[in-house]
Amino acid sequence: MPELSIKLTTANLSRLSAEVQTPAYDRRELIPHTIHIGVGGFHRAHQALYLDDLLAMKDTERWGECGLGVLKSDDRMRDVLASQDHLYTLVERSADTQSARVIGSLVDYIYAPEAREAAIEKMSAVETRIVSLTITEGGYFIDEGTGGFLVNHPAIQHDLQNPTEPKSSIGLIAEALDRRRVRGLAPFTVMSCDNLQGNGHVISKVLSAYASLSNPALEAWITANVAFPNSMVDRITPATTPADIEWVGSRFGIDDAWPVVTEPFLQWVIEDTFSNGRPQWERVGAQFTTDVASYEIMKMRLLNGSHLAMAYLGALAGYTYVQDIMADPLFVTFIERFMEEVTPVVPIIPNTSISGYKKSLIERFSNPTINDQVTRICSEGSAKIPKWLLPSIQELLDRDLSVDLLSLVVASWIFYFGEGVDQSGKPLDIVDVRADELTRIAQPAGTNPLPMLAVQSIFGERLFANETFRQKTAEALRMLSNEGVTATIKRYLAP
Ligand code: CS2
């Protein structure tokens, strides 16, 4: 850290360089009406920023946020935020922009593993009006194959047996809602901001399933009173690296232990369904609509799907960052063609140009300063593939349309587990809660994809039974194994 950088705290805000935007409001006036579970880079680059923008408008409610960590590893976020008065730096970066601002909308943080009761009471407090979530796909305990609730998961079993001492987000929310019910308080809105299709429906379904097993009166109360808005959230936000921390210090003079570096692009499309009020996010760019589903599908199939398309092939080819993949013309053509293959199952949205969206994605992926890690986009594929790739494949198959490139992507994911090393023999850094299980299935199977495709909790029954899909995946897997990544992509792109 350069000697001149200034430790980020409330007292030091006025000492920061004039080019750094700081909260234009008195943070002491904020009431944390929102409790956010899963304060990571994404939340801090997205929802907390919308609120910060809104708070800068003087004629709005003084609505603040309290973070809530439920994972053991969240102790680091708690400590960092506590040491900087819950302030953090958000940097937007591209080839043409570099701007830093300090966000002030987050005013408190609770670390549930060591303060379970405090976490539940905070959510049960009268002032709490929204509980929002970015807990990633895995946090919802959904069986990808059947769409059902993973009731036998040890974390859920623990919570069902100890409902007043829950560990999972689901158990914590259920207990807090139950206390509100018993105390005659209005419920809070449960707002998922995760990348799941129908994220509001998903969290609603999971909570109801949980409550039906533990507390039928609560289930009925939730159904009658709690709102679960669906939303589409979009901003590419890589994990913060030590180099980012160093750079924020040298470039902007801020000593911030955990800044966020993100792209200039930002989008939030949300349903206006709230049970206990909400900030006026529409004043700062959020789009309210009754048709979130179309936006979600467009984004997941094109943006997140393309990420998966480049992730495993890119990792096998030895790339570290997304921008390096996008500097390879072969991959750019591959991604463009992948998006073309998916387009027939992308909904038409009034006033939205799909071709414009696809063009902007190529630009966003190519952002040369973003340093989005290939390991990040590869991570937790066992949860992402069923949401961002397989629905496109099923719908295209149903319409007798091509799934050639999509099958190659599935094959690349299988090959990634089977090989365990990239083209140069370097071990792959595989991050997936199911990594051991999947490696054990993929490795002995070699070029036979069937054992992996038979994992029903990922592929379900219907897709597994599809002969075309099986054959296409087998063909791609054989080619990857015999000819390597580059030659395979070339063959798939050949006219
Ligand atoms: C990415 C997303 O996790 C992933 O693999 O595709 O995090 C993506 O960057 C965001 O959804 C962009 O909004």
DSSP 104: -
User: What CATH number has the domain spanning 292-493?
Assistant: 1.10.1040.10
**Quick one: tokens of 304?**
């997140």
C-alpha to C-alpha distance for 5 and 251, rounded to whole angstroms? 9
User: What CATH number has the domain spanning 6-288?
Assistant: 3.40.50.720
Question: Quick check: CB of 92 below 6 Å from ligand 1?
Answer: no
Which of 43, 194, 236, 367 is the pocket-test mutation for ligand 1 (most atoms within 8 Å of CB)?
A: 236
Is 6-288's fold the same as 292-493's?
Answer: no
Cα of 82 vs centre of ligand 1, distance in Å, is 28
Are residues 276 and 189 in contact, defined by beta-carbon separation less than 8 angstroms? yes
Question: Quick check: CB of 35 below 6 Å from ligand 1?
Answer: no
- The pLDDT score that the predictor gives to residue 3 is 58
DSSP for 461-486, please give it.
Answer: HHHHT-HHHHHHHHHHHHHHHHHHHH
Token pair 């039928």 is found at: 216
Q: Which residues contact 147 (CB under 8 A, 6 or more apart)?
A: none
- The pLDDT score that the predictor gives to residue 279 is 98
**Quick one: tokens of 23?**
């909260």
Which of 49, 136, 303 is the pocket-test mutation for ligand 1 (most atoms within 8 Å of CB)?
A: 303
Cα of 216 vs centre of ligand 1, distance in Å, is 36
Are residues 154 and 213 in contact, defined by beta-carbon separation less than 8 angstroms? no
C-alpha to C-alpha distance for 70 and 329, rounded to whole angstroms? 42
Measured CA to CA in angstroms, residue 432 lies from 40, 227, 383, 438, 480 at distances of 18, 32, 9, 9, 22
Token pair 């990239």 is found at: 422
Question: Quick check: CB of 304 below 6 Å from ligand 1?
Answer: yes
Are residues 342 and 406 in contact, defined by beta-carbon separation less than 8 angstroms? yes
- The pLDDT score that the predictor gives to residue 146 is 81
Per-residue pLDDT tens listing for the chain (495 residues): 455 899 999 999 999 999 999 999 999 999 999 999 999 999 999 999 999 999 999 899 999 999 999 999 999 999 999 999 999 999 999 999 899 999 999 999 999 999 999 999 999 999 999 999 999 988 999 887 788 999 999 999 999 999 999 999 999 999 999 999 999 999 999 999 999 889 999 999 999 999 999 899 999 999 999 999 999 999 999 999 999 999 999 999 999 999 999 999 999 999 999 999 999 999 999 999 999 999 999 999 999 999 999 999 999 999 999 999 999 999 999 999 999 999 999 999 999 999 999 999 999 999 999 999 999 999 999 999 999 999 999 999 999 999 999 999 999 999 999 999 999 999 999 999 999 999 999 999 999 999 999 999 899 999 999 999 999 999 999 999 999 999 999 999 998
What are the beta bridge partners of residue 385? Answer: none
Q: Is 0.75 surpassed by the pTM of this model? A: yes
Are residues 459 and 386 in contact, defined by beta-carbon separation less than 8 angstroms? yes
C-alpha to C-alpha distance for 481 and 469, rounded to whole angstroms? 18
Angle at 52 between CA 51 and CA 57, to 5 degrees: 95
- The pLDDT score that the predictor gives to residue 144 is 75
Nearest of 396, 414, 378 to residue 463 by alpha carbon: 396
Alpha carbon nearest to ligand 1 atom 4, residue: 377
Q: How are beta strands 267-270 and 231-234 bridged, if at all?
A: antiparallel
Domain boundaries, the chain: 6-288, 292-493
Where in 38-87 does DSSP place strands (E)?
63-69
Are residues 113 and 70 in contact, defined by beta-carbon separation less than 8 angstroms? yes
